[in-house]
Structure 1
Amino acid sequence: MPLVLVPTPIGNLQDITLRALEVLKGCDVVACEDTRRTLKLLNHYGIKKPLMSLHEHNEVMRLGRMREMLSEGLLVALVSDAGTPGISDPGEIVVRMAIDEGFPVDVLPGPSAAITALVMSGLGTRRFTFEGFLEGRRSFKEARLRALKDREETLVFYASPHQA
């Protein structure tokens, strides 16, 4: 598989799967949201691989390089800082490009902050909607919340610690 999305621990570095470690050890390059955080994880497990930053500010600019690496048959492991890449983290654009251009894509199972929070909340888990981060100005956020207020299923939102 040329592109493999590898979920990483949300908190404890030991919360990584054996398969994720196997892919990280066997890949040619690790595309990561923050090279410093990923290096900490790799160092913890004695893994040495070339790192390429791929975050929300450069994901579109990196598409050409990702395309080149996949065309060369390199195994690219894509990780985010914590959890599953592409879920409110970089990766969605790269995955779309890879699928559109016929490159194989694999996604490993692993941590997801939304699922962890949902189960831990004690709220209903049979039906839920993941809304991610509410985008835009306060008025847009309030309008979205008003549109959702009568929903019966559990709603899951992400909230940035940097925003009030």
Structure 2
Amino acid sequence: MPEQRLFVYGTLGPGRPNEHLLSPYGGTWARGHVRGRLREEGWGAAMGYPGLILDSPGNTPESAAQTVSGWVLTSAELDRAWAELDAFEGPEYRRVEAEVTLDGGDTVRTWVYALRCPTPLREATHASTLGPKRKSPQEAPCSPQRRSSPL
């Protein structure tokens, strides 16, 4: 199976309360960051883990850009994890594609769980190169601007 990646920034990260959900899938961890910001929303906010809102490249001036630090898990076994992780994150979050900059400077495409927008939007249509994605209501992740294609 091809390797897949997941960027985590909260309870699923190494040494965090829900790391055990990813442990069975092995793989390697790398530090990195994604363009976006944290909002005190989602079920994790009460535990000190706010939800992520991704920024779209090109719509945020570089001087105003924010980043969220986290970890990228790379594993050939992640395809077995998606159903459990989608259920764990629940309806407040949606698995979407994002570009992550690793601490060494390389960029990689990953899956990440981002907050859903409060208002339904049309789902972006594109073929993903990251692996299967669950079918979900027609909502887009919160971001300053809708996109019709992945990074």
State the TM-score, normalized to the length of structure 1. 0.27
| Structure with greater helix percent | 1
| Structure with greater strand percent | 2
Q: Rg bigger for which structure?
A: 1
State the TM-score, normalized to the length of structure 2. 0.28
